[in-house]
Amino acid sequence: GAGVSQSPSNKVTEKGKDVELRCDPISGHTALYWYRQRLGQGLEFLIYFQGNSAPDKSGLPSDRFSAERTGESVSTLTIQRTQQEDSAVYLCASSLGLPGIPEAFFGQGTRLTVV
Amino acid sequence: AQTVTQSQPEMSVQEAETVTLSCTYDTSENNYYLFWYKQPPSRQMILVIRQEAYKQQNATENRFSVNFQKAAKSFSLKISDSQLGDTAMYFCAFFSGYALNFGKGTSLLVTP
């Protein structure tokens, strides 16, 4: 597709369940980011993939969070044993890797509600 | 780690007026990029303007312009002739080859 696609758009899950969020980046973009945005708040960095380099996982808040990316394609963010505090919008973005212009293009996000 | 600070949580401006949003950052890098993103209520993040640190000339995109002060590590956004559609959250962001770091945002309200 032409833009970054995220699915599902909305997800309601029960506390303690696992969820998997998907991101399809723009074709040719080697960099991919995941952010968390709580209601009315800024973007909290979670993880950054750049090509075949080891991902920067420094933003993952706990070991319940993990993310994978196969090559330069789809990425999935998995949250295990969800808690109510995990409720937020999860945004994915992709960009050209350096030396290209690192302008990030964002998906519409997945709104996760843990009940 | 690079930090990005937006000191104005909320701002308001009347339609057709000019408003300036501030952003400062902290880095020891010499080469980097700075961005302003807009997030309207639809929650879609949209790039407003970008600035490469090696360029001395301030970036301009139609009604949007920046005042980039590299020595002061300041990167403010000026919106001229404000329009109702400019109502949104505005985020300043920094990139130097690692992750793209964002400030906490400024909520801008444009009033008739």
Q: Please say whether the beta carbons of A38 and A51 come within 8 A.
A: no
Phi first, then psi: give them for residue B103, nearest 5 degrees. Answer: -80, 175
Residue B97 has what pLDDT?
78
Give, as one character, the DSSP assignment of residue B96: S
Q: Nearest CB to A56: which of B93, B98, B103?
A: B98
Residues of chain A above pLDDT 90, percent:
78
Chain A / chain B CB contacts < 8 angstroms: 50
Which tokens belong to A7? 């699915």
**Which residue type sits at A66?**
S
For A34-76, write each residue's pLDDT tens digit.
Answer: 999 998 888 999 999 988 888 999 999 999 999 999 888 899 9
Residue A51 has what pLDDT?
86
**How far is residue A56's CA from residue B100's CA, in Å, rounded to a whole number?**
11
Look up tokens 């090559």; give the residue. Answer: A71
Residue B99 has what pLDDT?
78
The residue of chain B nearest to residue A96, with distances taken between CA atoms, is B97
- Residues of B in Cβ contact (< 8 Å) with A45: 99-102
Look up tokens 């995220």; give the residue. Answer: A6
Helix (H) or strand (E) holding B94: strand B88-95
**How far is residue B65's CA from residue B62's CA, in Å, rounded to a whole number?**
8
User: Is B98 part of the contact surface with chain A (CB cutoff 8 Å)?
Assistant: yes
- Residues of A in Cβ contact (< 8 Å) with B102: 35, 42-43, 45
Residue A72 has what pLDDT?
80
- Residues of A in Cβ contact (< 8 Å) with B91: 42-43
**CB-based burial label for A5 (10 Å; 0-12, 13-18, 19+):** middle
Residue B63 has what pLDDT?
97
For B20-54, write each residue's pLDDT tens digit.
Answer: 999 999 999 888 999 999 999 888 999 999 999 99
Considering chain A, what is the average pLDDT of its residues? 93
**How far is residue A21's CA from residue A107's CA, in Å, rounded to a whole number?**
12
pLDDT at A94 over 80: yes
pLDDT at A79 over 80: yes
Q: Nearest CB to A45: which of B50, B99, B105?
A: B99
- Please give the average per-residue pLDDT across A5-28, as a whole number: 96
